[in-house]
Amino acid sequence: MLGSSQLSLYGIDPEYRLKIALQSIQKFHNDTEFIAITGDLANDSDPLVYEKFRYTIDNSEIPIYPILGNHDNRELFISYFPEFSGGKFAQYVKKIDNKIFIFLDTLVENEPYGELCEKRLRWLKSALDEYKQEQKYIFMHHHPIDCGLYEMDNMGEFKTKELFWEILKKYENIKHISFGHIHRIMHSSKGSISMHSTRSTTFEVAYRPDEKKEYLTNEENPTYAIIDINSDGETRVHHHEYLDEDKVYLGVC
């Protein structure tokens, strides 16, 4: 989340954390092709947040590609970022060499859960049809596989996961899915497709699988993930705690 009109969210300044994250990426990874932000740009659909984010995108040397999260407002998002919409929904494709990156819109407005309705699923299928030969990478907000936390897998779930996987299994060369929403580092796989999420620029979520009411937040440091892909499509993901990045010491293997 980029933030809200409040100075802080849960006692955290997400705007400051985003700024430090972008500076860190610029400093250590300035060969990055693009930065993907996996949703929840604004906590409370405040136009000021989208306005600030427009400024951030326009002034970043590295292209930034955002998607919608459950806290976002689609109409506002599309009005500020028309280049990231495909008509009624905020879904789009970026192609780099022999790779395509598909950005999905899983938002159901005013609900914590997400879905891909019939129209959005049809759009996904046509994007996969158009780029049959290319290596494919997907970015989405909601987790397409259960994460083991009760509230996230029930109230905040991705409701159309069966239909989603039904489509994906018909295509080859889908390599990796990156998602947001759970505010945790998680790696998983389904068939030959690997997946990951990283921590948030706001609060983080504790892994308490026995907690049946609400999720618990904790004070883990925020991270961004570096997704390194070679020409064969092999992917490696590193999670970087950027607030403490100056604390490095010589080590011996």
**Which positions lie near Fe ion, rule CB under 5 A?**
40, 69-70, 181
Neighbours of 78 (CB within 10 A): 19
Residue with smallest beta-carbon separation from Fe ion: 181
Q: Mention every residue, 6+ apart, whose C-beta is less than 8 A from residue 239.
A: 185, 198, 199, 223, 224, 225, 226
Report in angstroms how near the CB of residue 197 gets to Fe ion at its nearest: 11
Which residue's CB is nearer to Fe ion, number 106 or number 135? 106
Which residue's CB is nearer to Fe ion, number 84 or number 158? 158
Report in angstroms how near the CB of residue 2 gets to Fe ion at its nearest: 13
The helix (run of H) or strand (run of E) holding residue 154 is: helix 150-154
CA–CA distance, 2 with 200 (Å, rounded to integer)? 10
Report in angstroms how near the CB of residue 232 gets to Fe ion at its nearest: 33
Report in angstroms how near the CB of residue 95 gets to Fe ion at its nearest: 27
CA–CA distance, 42 with 75 (Å, rounded to integer)? 13
Report in angstroms how near the CB of residue 24 gets to Fe ion at its nearest: 23
Q: What angle do CA 100, 19, 68 make, to 5 degrees?
A: 45
Q: Mention every residue, 6+ apart, whose C-beta is less than 8 A from residue 75.
A: none
Which residue's CB is nearer to Fe ion, number 40 or number 134? 40
